[in-house]
Amino acid sequence: MNANDYLAMFFGVPQTLSPMLILGALALSFLLAMLFAIVYQYTFRGFTYSRSFIHTMVLGSMVTCMLIMAVGNNVARGMGILGTLAIIRFRTPMRDPRDAMFLFACLGVGIACGAGMPLVAVVGTGLINVAALILHWLPFASRREYEGLLRFAMTVGDTEMEGKLHQILTQYCASFYVLGVRDAVQGEQAEFSYQVRLIDPAYQKDLIKALKTAGLIDPLLILQRNTVEL
């Protein structure tokens, strides 16, 4: 091998991609990433939903596809792009490892489309999304817990009221324990704080109604709420 052959191995043979091929690869990466985004949105069960993350999945797939087509088989060009990307620091934290997997899958789709392997991208997208749906529908690794903070006031030393309280909490809660007790109304009443886990989240109104019927003062139940980013 002469010097030109070694240079060709390192720098690669220039390849001219047709506009239709570039458009087709980008369009395919967009459609497959959209499918990932739809499945992610459908199977999402976290506490903070981010609309920008959905956009990042789709755009990340297309940007990766463009970079792979730009690099081609040119090692020097790839090293230059790698150095450029190393300068950019991405400090956005991933709160859920599942989000990172969906984003990585979209980047993989972009790599496959940009490398000219659409069959790998299509089959991989289909199988991964089917696996995500199966894991969503099956109770595999699920652990449903409904944590909440229950507060109320009660007359001090009323043993009958304490018995009713224990009976009500046992009926509607899977578990409960006292967080704190403090005096109120010059020591005639006590304000209780309980950490509770409801058997079913639909029992929230029934629990409050039962506590009021039993004579407890100002019962208040605060459950964990999902926060949605619009």
pLDDT tens-digit series, residues 27-76: 999 999 999 999 999 998 765 678 899 999 999 999 999 988 888 776 66
DSSP the chain: --HHHHHHHHH-------HHHHHHHHHHHHHHHHHHHHHHHHH--SSEE-HHHHHHHHHHHHHHHHHHHHHTT-HHHHHHHHHHHHHS------S-HHHHHHHHHHHHHHHHHHTT-HHHHHHHHHHHHHHHHHHHHS-TT-----EEEEEEEEETT-HHHHHHHHHHHHHHEEEEEEEEEEEETTTTEEEEEEEEEESSGGGHHHHHHHHHHTT-EEEEEEE---EE--
User: Does residue 103 share a domain with residue 43?
Assistant: yes
User: Does residue 164 share a domain with residue 85?
Assistant: no
In a domain, 91, yes or no: yes
User: Does residue 196 share a domain with residue 96?
Assistant: no
Total domains in the fold of the chain:
2
User: Does residue 95 share a domain with residue 158?
Assistant: no
- Cα four-point dihedral sign 19, 25, 28, 30: negative
In the prediction, which pLDDT does 16 show?
Answer: 72
User: Does residue 51 share a domain with residue 23?
Assistant: yes
Of the chain, the percentage scoring pLDDT greater than 90 comes to 39
The residue out of 83, 112, 137 marking a domain boundary is 137
User: Does residue 52 share a domain with residue 19?
Assistant: yes
The residue out of 107, 137, 167 marking a domain boundary is 137
User: Does residue 160 share a domain with residue 112?
Assistant: no
In the prediction, which pLDDT does 91 show?
Answer: 66
If you count them, how many residues does the chain have? 230
Tokens coding 180: 């704190």
Full residue range of the structural domain in which residue 27 is found: 3-137
The residue out of 137, 167, 194 marking a domain boundary is 137
User: Does residue 100 share a domain with residue 213?
Assistant: no
User: Does residue 100 share a domain with residue 9?
Assistant: yes
Confidence label for 229 from pLDDT (cuts 50, 70 and 90): very low
In a domain, 229, yes or no: no
User: Does residue 199 share a domain with residue 102?
Assistant: no
pLDDT in tens, 154-197: 887 778 888 899 999 999 998 888 888 888 767 678 899 998 98
If we measure between CA atoms, which residue out of 194, 219, 192, 195 comes closest to residue 208? 219
User: Does residue 156 share a domain with residue 116?
Assistant: no
